[in-house]
């Protein structure tokens, strides 16, 4: 076991897979000489060479589309979108090509490829370096969309994503990169794509979250236990699509109360689907109203610290809403 932060866990795992499999290539903006703006591919160019570590032209549609071609001809591309906010030019490739190559060919073609994208706020990224994109792609059948939030899950799920015969959008929350550390096994292991994970067991209410919000929920749950003796179960969604409804519903049926927290714009966010699932499937198991915390419906967070803070739910807000729900 080694204590690592999220970004180091991702770097080390990607490095391990690059060293193990000659077919693996990374491509994206600044992944070569610069080693990635977040340093995820630091040292890769020197070690693996420019054939396998490809500094692409500044064109996100091409980055994804080239990865499609590489995946179709025997390579295992791991494409990096420098910031998730910049993936929009690749939306057509993601939706029309990546997501439906297998479906539209009746299973004749498959695309073993990964698209990594740092997402989320709390880093003074303002309107174009802070956004959440999981709902756009969670809506698209054929894509697997994952949001690991701990070093252990990030490393394990990255191995699963690379091994997966289908395309995976691998979302890395930027604020967790260096904020969140944890024990990571030194030997390779995998964390499957699909299953959610109960990160903290509890009996009084269920919190469902991912990304930075997961950590706010864990912090709030800890305080509720210490200060009020309230037992909160925290479910880490981990995979946005396909969504593990069973784990979420099992927890809600056990506790009878649910709060769903996400930092994306509230309306049509991934949390809306989770809330709808609970409402559809577990209505008669509920002892209180379904609570949803999301970002406001404005384009994104502002650059000014107080504007960013006003946009993002924090542990205090989550704590208050949990307490309110527990007392209902």
Partner 1 sequence: MATRVTRRPIHEDLGLSADDIRSMYRTMVTARLVDEASFRLNRQGKAAFVVPVSGHEGCQVGTAWALERGRDVWLPYYRDVAVVLVAGMTPCDIFLGLFAKADDPSSAGRQMPSHWGSRRLGIISHSSPIASQMPHASGIAYAMKFRGEDSAVGCWFGEGATSEGIWHEALNFAGIHEVPAIFVCENNHYAISVAQSKQMAVENVADRAAGYGMPGVVVDGNDVLACYAAMKDAVARARAGEGPTLIEAKTYRFFPHTSDDDDRTYRSREEVEEAKHHDPIHKFEHYLRDAGVMGKDEVEPIAAEIKADVDRQIDDAWNAPDPDPDSLLRHLYAEDDPA
102 contacts partner 1 (rule: CB under 8 A): yes
Q: How far apart are CA 270 and CA 293, in angstroms?
A: 11
User: Residue 186 contacts by C-beta under 8 Å, 6 or more apart in sequence?
Assistant: 1, 2
How many residues bind partner 1 (CB under 8 A)? The answer is 42
**Among 5, 13, 93, 176, which residue interacts with partner 1 (rule: CB under 8 A)?**
93
Q: How far is the CB of 209 from partner 1 (least distance, A)?
A: 26
Mark the segment that binds partner 1 (CB under 8 A) among 30-38, 68-76, 119-127, 277-285. Answer: 68-76
Query: Residue 27 and residue 71: Cα distance in Å, rounded?
Result: 12
Catalytic residue among 11, 15, 88, 129: 129
Piece in contact with partner 1 (CB under 8 A), picked from 92-100, 116-124, 219-227, 255-263? 92-100
Minimum Å gap between C-beta 41 and partner 1 is 18
In angstroms, the CA 139 to CA 162 distance is 22
Please say which residue, 73 or 284, places its beta carbon nearer to partner 1: 73
In angstroms, rounded to a whole number, what is the distance separating the alpha carbons of residues 184 and 203? 28
**Is 306 exposed, middle or buried, given 0-12, 13-18 or 19+ CB atoms closer than 10 A?**
exposed
Does the protein bind partner 1 through residue 64 (CB under 8 A)? yes
| From 3-11, 60-68, 116-124, 295-303, span contacting partner 1 (CB under 8 A) | 60-68
Which tokens sit at 308? 């960013």
In the complex with partner 1, the residue whose CB is nearer, 85 or 233, is 85
Which residues, numbered 4-33, are part of the site for partner 1 (CB under 8 A)?
25
CB 271 within 8 A of CB 294: yes
Question: Is residue 73 annotated as part of the catalytic site, yes or no?
Answer: no
Residues 63, 28 contacting (CB under 8 angstroms): yes
> Is residue 70 a contact residue for partner 1 (CB under 8 A)?
yes
What is d(CA 293, CA 302) in angstroms, rounded to the nearest whole number? Answer: 19
Residue 132 CA, distance from chain mean position: 9
Question: With contact defined as beta carbons under 8 Å apart, do 295 and 263 qualify?
Answer: yes
Residue 192 touches partner 1, criterion: CB under 8 A: no
Catalytic residues: 129
Give residues in contact with partner 1 (CB under 8 A). Answer: 25, 51, 56-57, 59, 61-62, 64-75, 77, 89, 92-93, 96-97, 100-110, 141-142, 144, 164-166
């Amino acid at each position: 076991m080694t204590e690592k932060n999220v970004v180091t866990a991702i770097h080390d795992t990607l490095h391990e897979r690059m060293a193990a499999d000659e077919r693996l290539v990374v491509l994206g903006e600044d992944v070569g000489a610069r080693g990635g703006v977040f340093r995820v591919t630091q040292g890769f160019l020197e070690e693996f060479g420019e054939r396998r570590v490809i500094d692409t032209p500044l064109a996100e549609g091409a980055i994804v589309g080239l990865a499609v071609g590489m995946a179709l001809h025997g390579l295992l591309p791991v494409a990096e979108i420098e910031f998730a906010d910049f993936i929009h030019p690749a939306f057509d490739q993601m939706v029309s090509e990546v997501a439906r190559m297998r479906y539209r060919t009746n299973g004749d073609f498959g695309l073993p490829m990964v698209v990594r994208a740092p997402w989320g706020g709390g880093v003074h990224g303002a309107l174009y370096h802070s956004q959440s994109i999981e709902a756009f792609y969670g809506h698209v059948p054929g894509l697997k969309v994952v949001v690991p939030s701990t070093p252990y899950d990030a490393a394990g799920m990255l191995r699963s994503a690379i091994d997966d015969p289908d395309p995976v959008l691998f979302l890395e929350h930027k604020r967790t990169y260096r904020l969140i550390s944890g024990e990571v096994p030194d030997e390779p292991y995998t964390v499957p794509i699909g299953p959610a994970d109960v990160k903290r067991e509890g009996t009084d209410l269920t919190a469902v979250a991912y990304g930075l919000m997961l950590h706010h929920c864990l912090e709030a749950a800890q305080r509720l236990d210490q200060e009020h003796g309230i037992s909160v179960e925290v479910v880490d969604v981990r995979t946005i699509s396909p969504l593990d409804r069973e784990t979420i519903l099992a927890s809600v049926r056990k506790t009878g109360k649910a709060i769903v927290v996400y930092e994306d714009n509230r309306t049509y966010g991934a949390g809306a689907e989770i809330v709808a699932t609970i409402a559809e499937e577990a209505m008669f198991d509920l002892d209180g109203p379904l609570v949803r915390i999301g970002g406001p419906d404005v384009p994104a967070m502002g650059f000014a610290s107080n504007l960013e803070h006003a946009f993002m739910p924090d542990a205090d807000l989550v704590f208050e809403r949990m307490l309110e729900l527990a007392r209902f």
